[in-house]
Structure 1
Amino acid sequence: MNTAVATPAISNGVLWTGRVLSGLVIAFLLFDGAIKLVPLQVVHDTMATLGLPSELARTLGVLTLACTILYAWPRTAILGAILLTGYLGGAIAIHLRIGNPMLSHTLFGVYLGLMAWGGLYLRDPRLQALIPFRR
């Protein structure tokens, strides 16, 4: 008995919308991870504002870049999205803890996560087969 699930066909417009959404997430996170690797004063100031030691910036930069690369590579994109979701959840918790503004700072991780998963959903037929939305 064949238990393979048929993957739905993706229209060109939907595929490119997914690629653009994913590309925006990837570009932002590559920039965010890269600036954490360089000893910039703005990174040290931000880490202090968040109540984190500035020595942690490079570790966070490496984690951000690793998760983003996994997300960008099609074969590991779902794993990358899962890891990014956890990373962004930690960022949301930190912003909640220090009382940053809700819509601009605290929920930014939610916005980024929705874009990441939305882009992945639109460009990956395996994910569409796993989570089919009814029309």
Structure 2
Amino acid sequence: MTKSGSARTAGYVMSGLFIAFMLLDGGMKLVPLDVVIQATVGLGYPPELARPLGVIGLLCTVLYAVPRTSVLGAILVTGYMGATAATHLRVGHPLFTHILFGVYLAIIAWGGLFLRDPRLRELLPLRSPQQER
């Protein structure tokens, strides 16, 4: 497999893991399970917000999963994950396991998109064109 083929495959794997996690998370909020209601209340939000948050997360994930709207989805997912980080910071949760978890997910989402979409690599090169010569 070529270098670009390997990168694309790694990108699809990363994106697939991110999408699977978000579908599970959104699905749990739509049901909503008792553990989700308890966690929502524990974060200081009313239990009625679990479903709308699940819908928002799922919509952002669908936009991310569709190639034509993947960049828009990644931008929206980043905002969603930023809100999760702010929420965990507000309630005083641990930094690396709770506050930054949304940041980790956003990095996986953008990393997967970066590796699978050559247009994004052209827009955001990791090296300048002069270094490639």
The residue number in structure 2 matching 1:98 is 91
User: Percent identity between the aligned chains?
Assistant: 58
Counterparts of 2:81 and 2:88, CA distance in 1: 11
The residue number in structure 1 matching 2:106 is 113
Kindly indicate whether structure 1 or structure 2 has the higher relative contact order, using CA contacts under 8 Å at least 6 residues apart: 1
The residue number in structure 1 matching 2:59 is 66
Superposed CA deviations along residues 106-127 of structure 1, whole A, max 9, x for unmatched, are 0001100100000000000110
Scaled by the length of structure 2, the TM-score of the pair is: 0.92
The residue number in structure 1 matching 2:48 is 55
Per-residue deviation at 1:39?
A: 2.6
CA RMSD, Structure 1 to Structure 2 (Å): 1.3
What 5-or-longer segments of structure 2 have no aligned partner? none
> Are residue 37 (structure 1) and residue 30 (structure 2) matched?
yes
How many equivalent pairs are there? 127
Between Structure 1 and Structure 2, the one with more helix by share is: 2
The residue number in structure 2 matching 1:24 is 17
What 5-or-longer segments of structure 1 have no aligned partner? 1-8
| Segments ≥4 residues shifted beyond 3 Å | none
- 1:51 aligns to what SS in structure 2? coil
Scaled by the length of structure 1, the TM-score of the pair is: 0.91
